[in-house]
Amino acid sequence: MEDKSFNPFKMAQQQFDEIAEQLGLEEGTRDFLRNPRREYHFTIPVRMDDGTTKVFKGFRVQHNDARGPSKGGIRFHPQETIDTVKALATWMTWKCAVVDIPLGGGKGGVICDPHNLSMREQEQICRGWVKQIARNIGPLQDIPAPDVMTNAQHMLWMMDEYENINGGKFPGMITGKPVGMGGSLGRTEATGYGVIYTLREALKSKNIDIKGTTASFQGFGNVAQYAIELFHKYGGKTVCVSSWDQQDQKSYSFYRESGIDLAELLDITDKFGGINKGKAKGLGYEILSGDEWINREVDILIPAALENQINAQTVLNISEKVKFISEGANGPTTPEADKILSERGIFVIPDFLANAGGVTCSYFEQIQGNMNFFWTKEEVIEKLDNIMTKAFYGVYELSEKKGIFMRDAAYMIAIARVAEASKLRGWV
């Protein structure tokens, strides 16, 4: 009997099949792209702190490297399934392709729960992982990065092991390193800025002056904060942000018609983007319920917090005035809502284009590593702007030419680019 339960890889394949159909890809190319090129499974024996040996399962999936070395995170997850990893590797291929950086898609990890492991044991797992896969990863083949429950420390252990094995320094073999140890400047700003670069171009293409436009943000974390900073620099005005209140365990929207003052709000915000209600009130902000951000009378909505926030119900609350949505969060819009947005003619910059600033900056980290050189923050930001702008127009032009929704156009261009590279290499 066929298993009907949710399978992320099947979902990724279905998504691909739909686009492949629209693109009219031939059967061979479809077969090639709907499955990963390589899948490595291996065991990592670790001598535990209590003297016993435990064997962990490690793996790496390289979905496609036609456009460049694979890129993707390493997850430490207690019940990782290969289907999830395959799906995530596939999405990485499309994500790198949509911003047109010369990288493919990969993903990997180890089945383990770091909550049950000491740092020494985790180090052994990192080193063990690299020992098994060192021949198949590296700055020219496949560049890992931090993901669920891994961080800069894990990346440094892996880099160190890789360098031991290969007898040299290879800072470009992995990303997510701390600044000063091969990490790139501008990483903190990259995602938020990217959201605004694409928005700026979207407005420009519709002949709207960004100066004087108004926006409402959901979330006040890292992405939203830098996005607002840049948006204001361009002359935009933010009238509302929503933020999570840790103490009340719910979110609130902070509204001020005359516009928010970023510096003033940051002063009363904790590390998680939680704004102090009492102080905000004192500064003249109206404190509204968490979902009110969406029904503000603004030109632009920027969801930059959670998934599924614009859904069949909330989409109905969007004001007539709203003409643009830039998706700073991952998957903020449900398919049902997407349909309504498209009917209403709201211009949506889809998540994997709008928030691709992060992966682009990882790419910069890899380049700087390979050159054994570092760029100033200004250089990083300038290059980021160029790439995001170019990526936007790639998607936008296709969407205009074919009269299709931005989200579909983004997938199409990504898949088409990978298909073409595979063809040019003579693989399919």
Partner 1 sequence: MKSGKPEWAVIIDMLEKLDIVLFNRIVRRMIYYLYTLNIPEITDLLEDLEETIIKDKSDHVDSKLYSNMPNPKINRSSLKEFSNKVFQIAGDTIPDDEITEQVKTWVSQERSRFLSIEFENQNIALVDSKDVLARFLKIPKAELEMSPDDFINLRVLLIRRFLSSNLNYINIAKHHILVKDFFRIVQRTIGPAKGSGKLGGKSGGLILGHEILKNEIKNDPDLKDVDVPKSWYITSDTIINFIHYNALEETTSLKYLETAEIRAGYPYLQQLFKNSFFPQEIIIQLKNLLHEIGEKPIIVRSSSLLEDSFDAAFSGKYKSLFLANTGSDEKNLSSLLDAISEIYASIFGPDPIEYRKERGLIDFQEEMGILLQEVVGNRVGDYFFPTYSGVAFSNNEFRWSPRINREDGVIRMVAGLGTRAVDRVADDYPFLASPGKPGLQINISYEDKIKYSQKKADVLNLKTNEFETVELEPLIKKHGDKIKKIEYIVSVDKDRNLTPPIGVMFDPSESDIVVTFQKLTDTPHFLKKMDKILKILSKAFKSPVDVEFACDGEKLFILQCRPQVRSNAEIAEAIPENIDDEDVIIRADRYITSGAIKDIKYIVCVIPEEYNSLPTEEDMKKTAHIVSVLNKKLPAKKFILAGPGRWGSRGDIKLGVQVTYSDIFNTSMLIELAYEKDGYTPELSFGTHFFQDLVESNIKYLPLYPDNEGTEFKCDEFKKLPNHLKDFFPDDRSMDKVIRVVSSEDMKKDSTITIIMNGDTNKALGFFE
Q: What is the closest distance, in whole angstroms, from the C-beta atom of residue 347 to partner 1 in the complex? A: 25
319 near partner 1, judged by CB under 8 A: no
DSSP secondary structure string for all residues of 175-225: --PPBTTTBPTTHHHHHHHHHHHHHHHHHHHTT--STT-EEEEE--SHHHH
Task: Name which position in 119, 140, 316, 371 contacts partner 1 (CB under 8 A).
Answer: 119
Please identify which residue in the block is written with the tokens 């620099």: 233
Q: Which residues pair with 163 in a beta bridge?
A: none
> Which stretch, 113-121, 159-167, 350-358, 371-379, contacts partner 1 (CB under 8 A)?
113-121
Q: Label the pairing between strands 324-326 and 347-349.
A: parallel
Exactly one of 71, 107, 177, 323 is catalytic; which is it?
107
Residue 289 binds to partner 1 (criterion: CB under 8 A): no
Q: Could you give the CA distance from residue 178 to residue 355 in angstroms, rounded to a whole number?
A: 21
d(CA 6, CA 46): 33
Residues 213-232 close enough to bind partner 1 by CB under 8 A: none
By CB under 8 A, residue 15 contacts partner 1? no
Closest contact distance (angstroms) between CB of 217 and partner 1 is: 20
Cα separation, 199 vs 387, whole angstroms: 14
**Three-class SS of 25-81:** CCHHHHHHHCCCCEEEEEEEEEECCCCCEEEEEEEEEEEECCCCCEEEEEEEECCCC
Residue 339 as a binder of partner 1 (CB under 8 A): the answer is no
CB-based contact 193:226 (threshold 8 Å): yes
Site string for partner 1, 76-105 (x = CB under 8 A): xxxxxx--x---------------------
**Per-residue x/- track, 177-216, partner 1 (CB under 8 A):** -xx---x---xx----------------------------
Q: Which of 136, 140, 148, 212 binds partner 1 (CB under 8 A)?
A: 148
Q: Do the strands 214-218 and 70-77 form a parallel or antiparallel pair, or are they unpaired? A: unpaired
Cα(243)–Cα(265) distance, integer angstroms: 11
376 counts as binding partner 1 under rule CB under 8 A: no
* Minimum distance, C-beta of residue 236 to partner 1, in the bound complex (Å): 27
Helix (H) or strand (E) holding 261: none
Residue 272 sits in the site that holds partner 1 (CB under 8 A): yes
The structure tokens listed for 159 are: 């880099």
Six-digit token string for 271: 């590390």
CB nearer to partner 1: pick between 147 and 292: 147
Amino acid at 407: R
The distance between the two most distant Cα atoms of the chain, rounded to a whole number of Å, is 68
Segment contacting partner 1 (CB under 8 A): 55-63, 108-116, 349-357, 404-412?
108-116
Cβ closest to partner 1, residue 85 vs residue 294 = 85
Nearer of residues 271 and 401 to partner 1, judged by Cβ: 271
308 contributes a contact to partner 1 by CB under 8 A: yes
Cβ at position 77, least distance to partner 1 in Å? 6
Cα–Cα nearest to 358, from 184, 217, 182: 184
Which range, of 95-103, 223-231, 264-272, 340-348, touches partner 1 by CB under 8 A?
264-272
- With binding defined as CB under 8 A, does residue 53 bind partner 1? no
Contact stretch for partner 1 (CB under 8 A) within 142-150, 253-261, 362-370, 410-418: 142-150
Per DSSP, 217 falls in state: E
Smallest gap from Cβ 212 to partner 1, in A, equals: 35
Task: For residue 250, indicate whether it is catalytic.
Answer: no
Residue spans of alpha helices (H) in 113-182: 119-133, 152-166
Residue 267's φ and ψ, nearest 5 degrees, are -60, -25
Instruction: Give the binding site for partner 1 (CB under 8 A).
Output: 3-6, 8, 11, 49, 75-81, 84, 113-121, 147-149, 151-153, 178-179, 183, 187-188, 246-247, 249-250, 270-272, 307-308, 334
- The residues carrying an active-site annotation are 107
